[in-house]
Chain A
Amino acid sequence: MLEFINGDVACAEGAIAAGCRFFGGYPITPSTEIAERMALRLPQVGGAFMQMEDELASIMCVLGASWAGKKAMTATSGPGFSLMQESIGLAAMTETPCVIVDVQRAGPSTGLPTLVAQGDVMQSRFGSHGDYRTIVLAPANAQEMYDLTIRAFNLSERFRTPVIVLSDEVCGHITSGVDLREKVDIENRKKPGSSECLPFKADEDLIPPMAVAGEGYRFHVTGLTHNEKGYPVTSAEVQQALVTRLVDKVEKRKGEIVDAEFFMLDDADMCVIAYGSEAGSAKKAVKMAREKGIKAGLLRPKVLWPLGNFEDYVKDMKKVLVVELNSGQFYSDAKCWNRNTKLLGGYGGELHRPDDILKVMEVF
């Protein structure tokens, strides 16, 4: 069913389609339309919407709802995303499935509340203290706000980890035709089989089955370093074993997670790397370059973290240009794939224009 909606609304519809039945949030531009749509839609499907007193509460009620067995999410932008970081770490440590949408605006601080930027790329990866891995998806248009939000729920259920949908103001606000798919694939978390349950003992796939409150397991969950029983243990060995698994379950299985669009790369000698709504301008620039005889192509990661092994696509290129609306937060990793890599960065407020990207490509 094709509907003309903006990216934020598409995101909310994707969440509902994925089975999300709890939303806790606090209004902030440019993500507010997600909360508004969820407030309208959740009661229609038997879910619960709560506007909380702040983002500290928003993320926490989402984690609570997840432990009561519901698929749950929150949506925010930079200032609220910063407030959520401590509890995103709690979600990683306690392996709580949840989805956090960050519709990026320009910062630091209050910055440009209504205008686009991509300054939260590193924060989405390592924003909380300590060592952990998140999964971060980067939609580039309203359709992907729908599709990748569904994927975010599926990944969070499969990997028992917070998944961040890292959108941006343009992606959230541009209205276009979105196919609200008739059939979507839905994944649900593994449940423990027997009445005995070691709530943090992983199976071979590195993921423990998840009991939820009220089922009679009487389990314990803590943000402290814990053993398989979920009990806190103050020891370097237990810390090593636990955090190794938390990192490995994402890193070792990243083949299931990583995804990208490859555009005109087969015969290219110049690779442009861009993601999110910047990728729209970059794709246009690649087409314009082709008309001028430059053999350019586009690599568009749809998953930013874990970092994909894109080296094979990039290492033999003559030139690589990373285009992003920050000072090189993705470039800092991407430049390791090819020595001749340059950055076209920026601090937000507006997207790069295709002709500006083209100019850089021409003189590269």
Chain B
Amino acid sequence: MVPQEHPLEQLLRSDRMPHIWCPGCGLGTDLGCYLRALSGMDLDKVAFVSGIGCSGRAAGYVAVDSFHVTHGRGIPFAIGLKVANPELTVTVWGGDGDIFAIGGNHFIHAARRNIELNVICINNAIYGMTGGQVAPSTPLRAKTTTTPYGNYEHPFNFSYMAAASGATYVARWTTAHTKELTKSMREALEWKGFSFIEVISMCPTTFGRRNGFADGLEMLKDMKARSEVKNFPDLEDTDIGEKIVVGKFVEKEKRSYLEEVKQWR
């Protein structure tokens, strides 16, 4: 029998397998969607940047030019790559802590510039890598190692924030929506401007087990059951609560950063 190559094989660094992610973690599925979205693109011209976190480890696995930089600073590094070589398609991939806590300021400014980056945030509502501390997306009352009595801080709505900051393409899906997520990722990769995808994902190890979930599968089923697809909803109604509104939220025309630079030069 001829050994079959996995269809995504050439997009993965197989010499780096097995990956470090826990069984039941959403990250493998999320990255699988991204790899499918990539297929057919000129991989020599794709650069993949991430900061630090479980999510950030994705940079080590994707077989394109990849950069695993300082915590929260993936976006400004990616800006340097893109502006210095506009031929590149640049993805920034990171956790909710990486992109919206320590890196939040870079996120809003990159969106404001409508700069040609594709930012993907894996929102697992927790700091996975450091063992389960509260994140800016942790739901009220959830238990984490630094909110042992329950979280008393209101979470961000990342997608709303992206839109308000100037992102011209915004979509939100969960790990359960692999087909839709893959399609959105491809659209985002080809978008001329700042695109943002929020992936509601699961960390069974540090979030699930402290909050009443047996494993990753149970979390996946839960987020699927709570999802409601709405394209172009009123963003005020997209806060994550009992319901998780998913879909394509924003797709609008606006000159991108590099187009503006050309205009004024």
With a cutoff of 8 Å between Cβ atoms, the chain A residues found around residue B81 in the complex are 64-65, 67-68, 213
Question: For the complex, is A79 an interface residue (Cβ under 8 Å from B)?
Answer: no
B16, B76, B88 — most chain A CB neighbours (10 Å): B76
Give min CB distance, A309 to chain B, whole Å.
34
Give min CB distance, B97 to chain A, whole Å.
16
Beta-carbon contact of B73 and A60 below 8 Å: yes
Question: For the complex, is B237 an interface residue (Cβ under 8 Å from A)?
Answer: no
Beta-carbon contact of B76 and A57 below 8 Å: yes
Question: For the complex, is A170 an interface residue (Cβ under 8 Å from B)?
Answer: no
Beta-carbon contact of B265 and A64 below 8 Å: no
* Bound CA span A220–B94, Å: 16
Stretch at the interface among A29-37, A48-56, A283-291, A318-326: A48-56
Beta-carbon contact of A48 and B70 below 8 Å: no
Question: For the complex, is A66 an interface residue (Cβ under 8 Å from B)?
Answer: yes
Beta-carbon contact of B78 and A218 below 8 Å: no
Interface of A: prevailing SS: mixed
Beta-carbon contact of B76 and A52 below 8 Å: yes
With a cutoff of 8 Å between Cβ atoms, the chain B residues found around residue A216 in the complex are 44
Give min CB distance, A205 to chain B, whole Å.
25
Residue of B nearest to A216 (CB): B44
* Bound CA span A52–B84, Å: 15
Beta-carbon contact of B70 and A22 below 8 Å: no
A54-B105, A57-B76, A87-B73 known; A69-B84 Cβ under 8 A: yes
Q: Which of B15, B68, B69, B265 contacts A60 (CB 8 A)?
A: B69
With a cutoff of 8 Å between Cβ atoms, the chain B residues found around residue A58 in the complex are 76
Give min CB distance, A63 to chain B, whole Å.
6
Beta-carbon contact of A48 and B65 below 8 Å: no
Q: Which of A24, A69, A223 contacts B68 (CB 8 A)?
A: A223
Question: For the complex, is A219 an interface residue (Cβ under 8 Å from B)?
Answer: yes
For window 216-251 of B, CB contacts with A under 8 Å fall at: none
Beta-carbon contact of A221 and B68 below 8 Å: yes
Q: Which of A21, A56, A214 contacts B87 (CB 8 A)?
A: A214
Residue of A nearest to B72 (CB): A56
Contact with A along B1-31 (1 / 0, CB 8 A): 0000000000001011000000000000000
Question: For the complex, is B119 an interface residue (Cβ under 8 Å from A)?
Answer: no
Question: For the complex, is A232 an interface residue (Cβ under 8 Å from B)?
Answer: yes
Beta-carbon contact of A53 and B80 below 8 Å: no
Count A interface residues, CB 8 Å. 41
Give min CB distance, B81 to chain A, whole Å.
4
Stretch at the interface among B56-64, B121-129, B145-153, B191-199: B56-64
For window 67-122 of B, CB contacts with A under 8 Å fall at: 67-70, 72-73, 75-85, 87-88, 105-106, 109
A57-B109, A218-B64, A222-B60 known; A66-B44 Cβ under 8 A: no
For window 183-217 of B, CB contacts with A under 8 Å fall at: none
Question: For the complex, is B157 an interface residue (Cβ under 8 Å from A)?
Answer: no
* Bound CA span A223–B72, Å: 13
Beta-carbon contact of A63 and B69 below 8 Å: yes
With a cutoff of 8 Å between Cβ atoms, the chain B residues found around residue A217 in the complex are 65
Question: For the complex, is B41 an interface residue (Cβ under 8 Å from A)?
Answer: no
Beta-carbon contact of B85 and A214 below 8 Å: yes
With a cutoff of 8 Å between Cβ atoms, the chain B residues found around residue A213 in the complex are 47, 65, 81, 85, 88
Question: For the complex, is A237 an interface residue (Cβ under 8 Å from B)?
Answer: no
Beta-carbon contact of B88 and A66 below 8 Å: no
Beta-carbon contact of A214 and B77 below 8 Å: no
Beta-carbon contact of B78 and A64 below 8 Å: yes
* Bound CA span A214–B63, Å: 13
Beta-carbon contact of B85 and A48 below 8 Å: no
Not counting A24-B79, A50-B79, A60-B69, a sample of 15 additional A-B residue pairs whose C-beta atoms are within 8 angstroms of each other reads A22-B80, A53-B105, A54-B105, A57-B79, A57-B105, A64-B77, A67-B81, A68-B84, A68-B88, A87-B69, A214-B65, A214-B88, A219-B65, A220-B68, A221-B66
Interface residues, chain A, with chain B CB atoms under 8 Å away: 21-22, 24, 43, 48, 50, 52-54, 56-58, 60-70, 72, 86-87, 90, 213-224, 231-232
Q: What 8 A-B pairs have minimum CB-CB distances, sorted nearest first?
A: A64-B80, A61-B80, A68-B84, A57-B76, A60-B76, A65-B84, A222-B68, A65-B80
Cross-chain pairs A/B with CB under 8 angstroms, 10 sampled:
A48-B84, A50-B79, A64-B49, A69-B84, A86-B70, A213-B81, A214-B44, A220-B67, A232-B60, A232-B68
